[in-house]
Structure 1
Amino acid sequence: MERGVPFRKRLRILFVVEGNRMKGLVFLGEGKMEFRDYADPVPGPDEVVVRIKASGMCGSDLNHLNEPKRREDQIVIEGHEPCGVIAEVGSAVRASEVKIGDRVMVYHYDGCRTCPNCRSGWMQNCDHDRIAFGGNGHGAHAQFMKVPAHTIIKLPDELTFKAGAAVGCGSGTAYAALKRINLLADETIAVFGQGPVGLSCTMFAKAFGARVIALDVGEERLQMARDFGADFTINPLKDDPVAAIRDLTRGGLGVEKAVECSSNPIARQQAMKVVRQWGTTCLVGVHGGMEFECNELISKQKSLVGSLTFSKNIQDECAQFVAERGLNVDALFTHEFSLDQAVEAYALFEQRKIGKGVFIFN
């Protein structure tokens, strides 16, 4: 990544908004980014324009940033954790759906809208043409964002814009994973990886009433896990996690449920080994592989499942869950930035010198 002072200065100058123009942050691949000039978006009949108030940084952003050089037709405004206020609505959007001034989150996917997955609210699994805002469609790292009205989810009054950004990806993903495995209050769960998604799993699992064992190789993240309610923490660099988890469970049988959030292949193996007979392991961290002995799964009647983000309904449900229980999702963010600090922010994020960051707009 080009992190020299002249490059940063150039980006900061480019960020100035002139008239009805805005600047959006784009990734070029190969670790490079820049701001580009865009006309302020105008909504079509079934669309709305959101004035962004908070746009979260996600670990998957680094995959986009460091992928091979992008073609011009692949370059879009980044940012897939949007939260803000409705600025404009299209002519066909009913006031009962959404109106100017509403505080909102954005479900950051669109699809064909007619296949079974789209109709059930799982547009990230569209059978035809999936759009992921901030991936292959313009996202929220800009002053405004234009989206279909059906992607809008009202932000509960109790939640800040930062909390809405968290629910819009990382925290919503954690909530959906716990729903996927049907976590119960009398169960113990092991959460591998205490990044933003893993910490959200820890927080939500405690709110579900479960006993939580949090694992990470970073002591600062383990402390955050304890702050979020983890009953036990394990550093796999210091202790054998499989043995340690068995020691913490009755009869050494292991946990009922495990969620793996790090994408580490060894952690994935361990997450499957630590669940007891009839237990369930859920993989949330994306990319990479996993090797395991099939008989471990078969003979002990274990289940191995995957969970990819969430549906529109689950995003709404997660926001209500956070609001009703007064959960401090804001604490997931360790740093706030203005968007013109993006080069510095992503450099720190990639070097793991900060936790979860968020861009704040006036």
Structure 2
Amino acid sequence: MERLEIFTMLCFITVVSSTHIPVYDIDLDAPPKSRWDHVAAYYDGSLFVKAIDEAMDSLNISQKLRPIALKIAGDLDHYIPQPYADEMRGIGNALNIELGYVILGNVFYDLYTYDAHYDTNKACTSIVANDDTGHVIHGRNLDYIMADVLSYLVARIRFHKSGTLIFESVSIVGQVGFVTAFKAGKFSMSLNSRNTGYWWNNALSALEGYIPAFIYFREVMEKENSYEEALHFLTDMRIISPAYLIVGGTQPYEGAVVIGNRKGAHVERMNNTNQHGWFVVETNYDPWTAPPPDDDRRDVAIKLMNQIGNKGVNPHTLYQVLSTSPVLGVDTIYTTLMSASNSSIFATVLRK
């Protein structure tokens, strides 16, 4: 890079990193029921409840979902694997809220994500780009209908084991999983919603013991140690609802969109016919299908990325793409930029 480009990038990282996002450490060796106590101490549980109530009220099936959540809460260990079940119990106690709300907050994506409902398709944009030196940068916008409330619950969480930092995430306090994270020197990942099928397909999958998408995401971050390992793990997924998992690596052209079904997945890598050679873009539609006319986020993002070119890609320009309407939406909660090969590039900006 030219000296001016380096200076611009460093200034951008400094400004964005100064945005106040609380940072907490989670010790994975601590007892699961108390791991989140020190985090919950800084939050009002009623905010989490309000977010869930708002989201549930937006659904015309809310009265059907609540009994499912209560059933899961009543026999939590049957539906949620350990240590996550005990973490949820601990969070409920620490936030002083009903366990059913904690369950809903952790499986809401899975029960909420289905076809033919409201504007669920218009949620999230992820981009992985390769600059002309082979450096990979991963950016994402997280969109949700309860953005105004959830923005108060966004935090940066650093997960440790045996005294060593394992990975970092951008999380919603109250959830044991997350949809944005990176493992320094290994890979980065974001999740976008994939809306297919019916709500009851997801509900049945939950009752049959499939893993919530947020928790599956965390399993990948904890267990896998390279870009290729992560992709291999993801192709054998067994999750409650379909999802897009966008993965960035540390080597040139390591970027992919994993199109996940309830069981199994298809991978679209950077450089193939359905992507764009030096970058991948995912909103909420399969890469081989055209987005609907009323949601052109993907087309706008692709046009902007091509205008920049791989010689012009850096955290600042990628942030500009993610800040351009309609890529940046009215329900965008935060924008995150990260790089598995350069851990100094990890910044989140609240949009609400």
Q: What is the TM-score normalised by the length of structure 1?
A: 0.25
Query: If you compute each CA radius of gyration, which structure gives the higher value, 1 or 2?
Result: 1
Q: Higher relative contact order by CA 8 Å / sep ≥ 6: 1 or 2?
A: 2
TM-score, normalisation: structure 2: 0.25
